[in-house]
């Protein structure tokens, strides 16, 4: 087993329509305003940027994210990542049967940050918990940002 390889999955059930959720998720430069662990997003061009992340554990992760797929019709946003994490992440949004949106998040990465690689085996449960707490805070932040009206300040 490669202790530096991770697969993460999360599902966010949100009361807003898929189009509103998609509009918020495609604006990565706004993530720091609603997702506390996304500390900084610096666009490099119209398809890529650097992202600084920090959750409960006392270290930052810095990645370069590049758009791999943007398909609003199918509700898919996907990036590739390099830097402290090497891999990909994807949002897939669908209309929930009871209304609102089911937002599925999938991520597969290889850790490149030297400290995390050295602590790969003993730290793995903490790294997974750290990610889970980050995702929980992100769902709460996005739900608050969207409110009943949809994304504040989003282009329509």
Q: Which conformational region is residue 147 in: left (phi greater than 0), alpha (psi within -120 to 50 degrees), or beta?
A: left
The per-residue pLDDT for 149 is 56
Q: What is the pLDDT of residues 28-64, one digit of tens each?
A: 999 999 999 999 999 999 999 999 999 999 999 999 9
- Record the pTM: 0.91
Domain boundaries, the chain: 5-146
Is the pLDDT at 153 greater than 80? The verdict is no
Q: State the Cα–Cα distance between residues 137 and 115, nearest whole angstrom.
A: 24
For 5-146, CATH gives 3.30.530.20
Q: State the Cα–Cα distance between residues 78 and 92, nearest whole angstrom.
A: 9
SS3 26: coil
Q: State the Cα–Cα distance between residues 97 and 15, nearest whole angstrom.
A: 11
The per-residue pLDDT for 98 is 84
Is the pLDDT at 150 greater than 90? The verdict is no
Is the pLDDT at 156 greater than 50? The verdict is no
Is the pLDDT at 99 greater than 50? The verdict is yes
Q: State the Cα–Cα distance between residues 136 and 35, nearest whole angstrom.
A: 10
Structure tokens at 126: 């903490």
Q: How confident is the model at residue 127 (pLDDT cuts 50, 70, 90)?
A: very high
Q: Read off the pLDDT of each residue in 63-90 and give the average, rounded to a whole number.
A: 98
Element housing 93 (H / E): strand 85-95
Q: Read off the pLDDT of each residue in 5-16 and give the average, rounded to a whole number.
A: 97
């Amino acid at each position: 087993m490669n202790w530096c390889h991770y697969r993460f999955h999360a599902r966010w059930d949100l009361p807003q329509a898929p189009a509103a959720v998609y509009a918020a998720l495609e604006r990565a430069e706004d993530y720091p305003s609603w997702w506390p662990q996304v500390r900084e997003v610096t666009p490099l061009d119209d398809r890529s940027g650097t992202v600084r992340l920090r959750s409960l554990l006392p270290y930052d992760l810095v990645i370069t994210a590049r758009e791999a797929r943007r398909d609003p019709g199918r509700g898919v946003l996907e990036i590739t990542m390099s830097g402290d994490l090497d891999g990909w992440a994807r949002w897939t949004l669908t209309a929930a049967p009871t209304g609102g949106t089911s937002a599925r998040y999938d991520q597969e990465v290889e850790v490149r940050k030297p400290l995390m690689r050295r602590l790969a085996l003993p730290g793995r449960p903490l790294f997974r918990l750290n990610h889970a707490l980050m995702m929980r805070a992100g769902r709460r932040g996005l739900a608050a940002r969207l409110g009943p009206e949809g994304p504040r300040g989003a282009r329509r």
